[in-house]
Amino acid sequence: MGGDHRPLEIQPIGESMMTRRHYEEIVKILAQHKVSEELLMDLACAFEKDNPRFEVGRFMHRYIALQNALQSEDYVVNQHGEIVEK
């Protein structure tokens, strides 16, 4: 299935259904799985369409910070999926 890659269009339904808490949980999961930059940007753009207050730059910065923390030996993911200091 070659060809153009087009991100999935998400159509907002009334008010945004996602909050900062949702985005924080999603970015934690993405950081744990080391997703591609393309997937990260597609999701960030979809979130921005869903919620005009969503900040792509903040989301990307948080992903990078979490990736750096996970790559260091000072942080781990606990049983609740939280990134915590050792």
> Does this model's pTM top 0.75?
no
Which position has the higher pLDDT, 35 or 15? 35
Task: Name the nearest CA neighbour of 41 among 25, 18, 15, 64.
Answer: 64
pLDDT in tens, 40-79: 999 999 999 888 899 999 999 999 988 888 888 787 777 7
pLDDT of 1 > 50? The answer is no
Domain residue ranges of the chain, discontinuous segments joined by +? 20-85
- Report pLDDT for 75: 78
